[in-house]
């Protein structure tokens, strides 16, 4: 069988894979990206459901590594739509001539470290082997779709589509009876758009959402000009001063405990009008203080009840858990959708789904006949994309076995026993708690420096030391346990996937993490074994 040998193999041509390739090429290393999809874009290639949009401002959700690129690119709206981001990423691929080193429609199925040669052997669905010294998993944190196992699914006469596997040619929903299962970001974005097209939309909700209005709008040219006059400064401030949060507008510098009830309402209303992630920065301690959290949650509860006409439906739509504990959701007319006569809500906590029938969905209480079922059921986040590949390190050890009790690694970058393998925004790094663009650039640049160091110093192998890894995992748990993120069921802890070990996966706190990464390098790659 044909074998292809490279210095570096990168798995995935999303935002991380593209930038990683650009950087590896600049080092003069032979590199190959293997991508399962038919084009670049990763998340933005696959998630084509109606209403799909990023929830971070465009001015921040873009690469910062090339000044001409960031100066020239124009975004029309505050939040970019999926087609716009895909267009941008295609532009990046063309601009830097990246496609010639990307192999599309090819899925990596296995990767094994050969201890004799010190190289990774990578197997793909098309057959044949690739080999490389360095293997970089740019497989995404939120990329392995969660397709729930529901009895009778195969018997359904209509069509079932997961939001992250939406037909590329689109889907005609006009005149259709549609069911949406799931009310995370994808469901909440899709529901208002589907509601306008479908004859009848029935939403099957397992957990209600503390959703806040996105307040999307055309970008203000004066604001953009001001940012572009010092884009580097803007990026630097976002990266460290505001902690790579999902908005450049910093949180207020006070807690709810420090101000009167009247002042709290004023501040919350002001932030509600700003829309988007800045809302969650009304107080500086929403993720650690029960008081600030409750004040914020009570405010949103009142808003939901003010928006939704039917008080029983409003009650069903109101969460009973800490706000910002599940990954925050932004919407454009989500709660308003339930005032439409063609939209109804089914609460799965009280009436769970029992089966999918040929005609639709059966709950413990009723049968709902539909033409299309939309699974907005999310992803096996953070570990799913990695563990779906048969990855074997030293001694044939399977990553799946190593992580049987939850992901263990060092800095979210390397796993002991898996030499020369790097994970971009892996569990144990800030990743999904930050603006992903910022987290990705920081990881790609760290890995680039590391590989450059190895090549320049004739080191063959870099591998996380077991004791550094144990300490790191304990550190991530300690930081997470001090927050309210562990106070509800959320996918940060794998709660959405039956049987997944309950471990908090991302690391809160971007600036201290970056400091730690820099310190590790300054101390000669402390915590790694080089040989
Ligand atoms: P999410 O945020 O994981 O949302 C998935 C939704 O689907 C959520 O409401 C889940 O309820 C629900 N779900 C999952 N499995 C089931 C089953 N078996 N039955 C019923 N309902 C289910 O994924 P999204 O795609 O919306 O968003 C992904 C990311 O995109 C998001 O975090 C942002 O970063 C952008 P649950 O809350 O688990 O009870």
Å from CA of 501 to ligand 1 middle: 17
Cα 43 to ligand 1 centre (Å): 15
Site to probe by mutation for ligand 1, drawn from 182, 188, 207 as the one with most ligand atoms within 8 Å of Cβ, is 182
Q: Which atom of ligand 1 is nearest to the CA of 189?
A: 26
Please state the rounded mean pLDDT for residues 77-87.
97
How many whole angstroms separate alpha carbon 301 and alpha carbon 282? 16
Tell me the per-residue pLDDT of 198-232, one tens digit each, with 9 for 90 and over.
999 999 999 999 999 999 999 999 999 999 999 99
Best residue for ligand 1 mutational test, from 15, 186, 374, 385 (most atoms within 8 Å of Cβ):
186
If one residue of 377, 383, 385, 491 were mutated to test the ligand 1 pocket, choosing by the most ligand atoms within 8 A of its CB, it would be 377
Ligand 1 mean position, distance from CA 186 (Å): 8
> Is residue 120 within 8 Å of residue 421, measured between CB atoms?
yes
Distance CA 263, CA 518 (A): 41
Nearest one of 335, 290, 244 to 482, comparing CA atoms: 290
Has residue 146 got a pLDDT over 90?
Answer: yes
Atom of ligand 1 nearest to the CA of 327: 32
Per DSSP (E only), the strands in 169-257 are: 177-181, 200-205, 211-213
At 362-384, the pLDDT tens digits run 999 999 999 999 999 999 999 99
Helix (H, G, I), strand (E, B) or coil at 461: coil
Quick one: pLDDT band at residue 501, thresholds 50, 70, 90? very high
Token output for 265: 């309402």
State the closest ligand 1 atom to the C-alpha of 188, by its place in the atom list counted from 1.
Answer: 26
What would the pLDDT profile of 242-287 be if each residue is shown by its tens digit?
666 778 888 999 999 999 999 999 999 999 999 999 999 999 999 9
Q: How many angstroms does the Cα of residue 378 sit away from the middle of ligand 1?
A: 4
DSSP H helical segments within 101-220, as ranges?
A: 185-197
Q: Which residues line ligand 1 (CB under 6 A)?
A: 142, 146, 148, 163, 181-187, 206-207, 326-327, 348, 376-379, 491, 496
pTM greater than 0.95: yes
**Could you read off the pLDDT of 424-447 as tens digits, one per residue?**
999 999 999 999 999 999 999 999
Residue 1 confidence class, pLDDT cut points 50, 70, 90: very low
Higher pLDDT, 338 or 2: 338
Distance 182 CA to ligand 1 centre (A): 5
Q: Under DSSP, is residue 450 helix (H, G, I), strand (E, B) or coil?
A: helix
Q: Which residues contact 285 (CB under 8 A, 6 or more apart)?
A: 255, 256, 292
483, 288 Cβ separation under 8 angstroms: yes
Longest dimension (CA), the chain: 73
**Are the C-beta atoms of residues 14 and 41 closer than 8 Å to each other?**
yes
């Amino acid at each position: 069988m044909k074998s292809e040998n490279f210095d570096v193999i990168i798995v995935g041509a999303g935002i991380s894979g593209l930038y990683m390739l650009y950087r590896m090429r600049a080092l003069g290393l032979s590199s190959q990206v293997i991508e399962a999809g038919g084009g670049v874009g990763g998340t933005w290639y696959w998630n084509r459901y109606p209403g799909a949009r990023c929830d971070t401002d465009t001015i921040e959700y873009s690469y910062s590594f090339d000044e001409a690129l960031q100066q020239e690119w124009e975004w029309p709206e505050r939040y970019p739509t999926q087609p716009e981001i895909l267009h941008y990423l295609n532009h990046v691929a063309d601009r830097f001539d990246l496609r010639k080193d990307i192999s599309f429609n090819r899925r990596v199925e296995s990767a094994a470290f050969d201890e004799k040669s010190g190289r990774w052997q990578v197997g793909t669905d098309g057959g044949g082997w690739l080999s490389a010294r360095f293997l970089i998993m740019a497989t995404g944190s939120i990329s392995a779709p969660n397709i729930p196992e529901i009895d009778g699914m195969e018997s359904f006469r209509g069509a079932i589509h997961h939001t992250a596997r939406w037909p590329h040619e689109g889907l005609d929903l006009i005149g259709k009876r549609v069911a949406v299962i799931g009310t995370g970001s994808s469901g909440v974005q899709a529901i208002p758009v589907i509601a306008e097209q479908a004859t009848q939309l029935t939403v099957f909700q397992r957990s209600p959402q503390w959703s806040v209005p996105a307040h999307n709008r055309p970008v203000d040219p004066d604001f953009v000009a001001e940012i572009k006059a010092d884009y580097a400064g803007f990026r630097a401030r976002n990266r460290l001063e505001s902690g790579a949060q999902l908005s450049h507008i910093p949180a207020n510098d006070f807690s709810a405990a420090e101000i009167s009830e009247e002042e709290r309402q004023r501040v919350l209303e002001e932030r509600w009008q700003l829309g988007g992630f800045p809302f969650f920065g009304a107080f500086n301690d929403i993720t650690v203080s029960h008081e600030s959290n409750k004040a914020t949650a009570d405010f949103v509860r009142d808003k939901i009840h003010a928006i939704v006409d039917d008080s029983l439906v409003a009650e069903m739509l109101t969460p009973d858990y800490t706000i910002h504990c599940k990954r925050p959701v932004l919407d454009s007319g989500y709660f308003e959708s339930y005032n439409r006569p063609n939209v109804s809500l089914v609460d799965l906590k009280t009436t769970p789904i029992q089966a999918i029938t040929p005609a639709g969905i059966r709950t413990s209480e009723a049968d709902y006949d539909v033409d299309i079922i939309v699974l907005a059921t999310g992803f096996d986040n953070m570990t799913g994309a990695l563990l779906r590949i048969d990855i074997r390190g030293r001694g044939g050890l399977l990553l799946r076995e190593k992580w049987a009790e939850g992901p263990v690694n060092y800095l979210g970058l390397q796993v002991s026993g898996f030499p020369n393998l790097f994970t971009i925004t892996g569990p144990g790094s800030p990743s999904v708690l930050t603006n992903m663009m910022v987290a990705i650039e920081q990881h790609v640049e760290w890995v680039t420096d590391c590989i450059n160091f190895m090549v320049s110093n004739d080191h063959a192998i870099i591998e996380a030391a077991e004791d550094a890894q144990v300490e790191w995992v304990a550190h991530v748990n300690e930081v997470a346990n001090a927050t309210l993120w562990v106070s509800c069921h959320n996918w940060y802890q794998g709660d959405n996937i039956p049987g997944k070990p309950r471990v908090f996966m991302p690391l809160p706190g971007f600036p201290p993490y970056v400091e730690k990464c820099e310190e590790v390098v300054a101390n000669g790659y402390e915590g790694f074994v080089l040989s």
